[in-house]
A and B are shown apart, each in its own frame.
Chain A
Amino acid sequence: MQPTSVRFDHQARRALADAELQRALSAIRTGWQPARARAAAALPEFDALRDLARDLKDHVLAHLDLYLEAFEAAATAVGARVHWARDAAEAREIVLGLCEAYGARSVTKSKSMVAEEIGLAEALEGRGISRVETDLGEYIIQLAHEPPSHLIGPAVHFTKERIAKLFAEHHGGPELTQAEALVAEARRVLRQKYFEAEVGITGANFLVAETGSVITVTNEGNAELTQGLPRHHIVVTGIEKLVPTMEDAFTFLRILARSATGQEFSAYTTVITGPKRAEDLDGPETLDIVLVDNGRSALHAGRFREILRCIRCGACMNHCPVYLAIGGHAYGWTYVGPMGAVLTPQFVGLEQAWKLPEASTFCGRCEEVCPVRIPLPRLMRFWREEAWRRRLPPAVQRSGLRIWAFLATRPRLYRLAARLGSGILAILSRGRGRLRWLPGASGWTAARDFPAPEGGTFFSRYQRGRR
């Protein structure tokens, strides 16, 4: 996928004006957000598990080389083949090479963010291998030729009506109105594809060093059919997915679904250990596991190591005021929301992506809900410092900030300027206490009202309160 992060501001503006997108996004506030809160409240140990999960990931990252070696040895012992890829191009070549060796004309694929990240879909098409996405959300965006807009709901930006129109166009037949009917139709269409494919490609949520196992988590059961029906199974995944043992995996599994969709557990958690065994009646004959670095070792070496704890749950975006206002596509690449703002500059270059870490209100909600407690605002700040150092933001913004810095270091002047500013805002709100339009931030106020200052500056109220 060609990154368009450099046009973030334009894309964000367009998203704010897109009424259908706004309607689709508002469902997250009433769906996943409260669902996570309920699931967290229903498990008294939830926060303790998060602490544990954070510590476990830190432990793995501190010994990642050894855990990778242990995983490779264990996976090989049960008949899987392990491949290593330094970058996206190498990873694509390995997968394409395997597909060719297996005589694949068509592949089925369940959701894999790493496959998105390395541009596997385009690469397969380039070799004339047809590909069908089996995750329903991925299938929808494949039909629409769009990139995913959310980690766990790649088509979350689609309303039901738009899906109905899309299906009618591609499958023929009338426009359906019921979700059940749409799901049944997709089920029927995809069923055939599973049987046609020579190769099934999946991602992995976790890799277990002890047993060489690959864990996938889905709600639809598509990963199981994707790897269970074709003769060959290829796993494409990142080197950071390691956990030492199944006991450790359970700690993560207890917080993953709760953080993502607010479910107690996802419908399907599957542990794959090697290919089909001698007497088995089903399962793939070969299992290849491609371990992808693609910048992860660079993150591991620097001050961004904590982002490698990410388990791709999507909670940070579900609770991000910026994401909820503009959706995923504005971010312009595979990873979106707060975690995307930290990852994208590493993958596509800070020159391309410096605007993403700027797009934060630093409200801290992402860090609050992150199951592995990644300090996302701090990591975004690191990128901002770096962008500033490399003089990436344009002069206007730099001078704007410089004025603020000038004032901020001169308290008297700051207070005067703030008083002037808040006075103007109070007038604009015409006594309603909400601002429908904010000078210089009309993009922001189109999606929400800006609370108007109630009177006086923080300093003046603080002074009053003290007296």
Chain B
Amino acid sequence: MSEAARTTILARLAAALGRDPASERRRKEEIAARLAVPTPNLIPARAQVSGEERIELFLRMARAVQTDVERLAHLSDVATATTRFLRFHNLPQRLVAVPDPLLDRAGFDRQPLMRLRRGTANVEDAVGLTIAEAGVAETGTLVLMSSPLRPTLVAFLPETLIVVLPIEDVVGAYEEAWQRIRARGGPSRSVNFITGPSRTGDIGQQITLGAHGPKRLLVLLVERLDRT
């Protein structure tokens, strides 16, 4: 059934476009070439910033959509900042963190009261901790990329989400983030662009946070990863 449907649909489209066999080869080559060399279209001037200006833009845009952002000097400050944040929101010191070994150096060994589980999230997890592939200054957006070390549900099931973003991974425009993903061999199963906590306007057109995804979003912007 599907094969017949496929043939019919493609034939209908081709007929509407009035193909002549002579130009067909050239057309195919053109489209193949366009797909082989993806090129950015117009990138807004706002996104074409660098250095501290870019970080400033990221902070401003992220905060405008109710993302909390904290700047940390070292990766090992992540645990302290997490503890502080959870305490402030009167939440238990318990979280699920992605298995990425980068978080082994986040300082949790110095937080004996924190109950930390590594893996993907389940329905009981109230707080999730993951790592962003990039941050996009243009709209204060986080880019998460699924992998065995960074399962996706950690960013969606818990009511509170904390994301580690190395400052060197903040880019100006979405296209730059995607360029990095291409450089890593293309998109993994799930690439999430996250701009603020989950929200809905479905109740009386009033913006309410925490519809299905996280209600709170904290970004820990880390200056130095101190890679060993």
- Show the binding face of A for B, using Cβ within 8 Å: 24, 27-28, 31-32, 43-45, 48-49, 52, 56, 62-70, 83-86, 90, 93-94, 134-137, 140, 153, 155-156, 158-160, 163, 179-180, 182-184, 186-187, 190-191, 195, 209-211, 213, 219-222, 224-225, 228-229, 239, 244-248, 250-251, 253-254, 261, 263-277, 279-283, 291, 293, 297-298, 300-301
Interchain CA distance A167-B206 in the complex, whole Å:
17
* Complex interface: stretch among B71-79, B83-91, B105-113, B182-190: B182-190
Q: Which A residues are in CB contact (< 8 Å) with B2?
A: 83-85, 94
Per a CB cutoff under 8 Å, which of B32, B187, B210 touches A211?
B187
Q: B192 and A270: CB pair below 8 A?
A: yes
- Known A44-B44, A183-B210, A270-B190; contact A86-B8, beta-carbon cutoff 8 A: yes
B139 & A179 in contact (Cβ 8 Å cutoff): no
- Whether A267 and B195, one on each chain, are in contact in the complex, defined by CB atoms closer than 8 angstroms, is yes
In contact, A265 and B189 (Cβ under 8 angstroms): no
> Would A228 and B156 be within 8 Å (CB), given that A63-B27, A213-B187 are in contact?
yes
Task: Say whether B192 contacts A140, CB under 8 Å.
Answer: no
Q: What are 22 A-B pairs with beta-carbon distances under 8 A? A: A63-B17, A63-B31, A84-B5, A94-B1, A136-B200, A136-B202, A187-B212, A219-B200, A219-B211, A220-B199, A220-B212, A244-B31, A244-B34, A245-B39, A246-B178, A266-B195, A267-B194, A268-B198, A268-B213, A273-B187, A273-B189, A282-B151
Contact B212 A65 (CB under 8 A): no
- In the complex, the number of residue pairs spanning A and B with C-beta atoms less than 8 Å apart equals 255
**Residue numbers in A under 8 Å from B35 (CB-CB):** 70, 209-210, 244-245
Interface size class of B (residues with CB under 8 A): 35 or more
Residue of chain B at shortest CB distance from A81: B2
CA distance A28 to B147 in the complex (A): 41
Listed from nearest, the 8 A-B pairs whose CB atoms lie closest are A221-B213, A301-B16, A220-B211, A160-B204, A279-B148, A245-B38, A297-B12, A281-B151
B9 on the A face (CB < 8 A): yes
B residues lining the A interface (CB < 8 Å): 1-3, 5-6, 8-10, 12-17, 27-28, 31-32, 34-35, 38-42, 44-46, 61, 64-65, 99, 119-120, 123, 139, 141, 146-148, 151-153, 156-157, 173-175, 178, 186-206, 208, 210-214
Contact B6 A280 (CB under 8 A): no
Verify B10–A250 contact, CB threshold 8 A.
no
Q: How far is the CB of A157 from chain B (nearest CB, A)?
A: 11
Q: How far is the CA of A278 from the CA of B183 in the complex (A)?
A: 21
Contacts of B9 in A (CB 8 A): 68, 84, 86, 239, 291, 293, 297
List residues of chain B with CB within 8 A of the CB of A136.
200, 202-203, 211
Specify which chain A residues have a CB less than 8 angstroms from the CB of B206 in the assembled complex.
160, 179
Q: How many Å lie between the Cα of A136 and that of B196 in the bound state?
A: 18
Across the interface, name the chain B residue whose C-beta is closest to A79.
B189
- Contacts A190-B212, A269-B193 known; list 16 others, CB within 8 Å: A49-B42, A70-B35, A179-B204, A182-B203, A187-B210, A211-B187, A224-B156, A247-B38, A253-B174, A264-B65, A267-B213, A276-B189, A279-B148, A283-B152, A297-B9, A300-B13
Alpha-carbon gap, A228 to B194, bound state (A): 16
**B195 in complex: contacting residue of A220, A225, A265, A272, CB < 8 Å:** A265
A residues in contact with B148, CB < 8 Å:
277, 279-281
Measured between alpha carbons, how far is A24 from B201 in the docked complex, in Å? 13
Q: How far is the CA of A271 from the CA of B190 in the complex (A)?
A: 6
CA distance A274 to B174 in the complex (A): 21
In the bound complex, residues from chain B placing their C-beta under 8 Å from that of A272 are 189-190
Question: Is A221 in contact with B189, judged by CB distance below 8 angstroms?
Answer: no
* A52 partner residues in chain B, CB cutoff 8 A: 41-42
Query: How distant is the Cα of A65 from the Cα of B17 in the complex, in angstroms?
Result: 9
Closest to B199 in A: A219
* Distance from A148 Cβ to chain B, minimum over Cβ atoms (Å): 11
| B45 in contact with A45 (CB, 8 Å) | yes
* Candidate in A85, A228, A270, A301 with the most chain B CB atoms within 10 angstroms: A228
CA distance A267 to B139 in the complex (A): 10
Residues of chain A contacted by B34 (CB below 8 angstroms)? 244-245
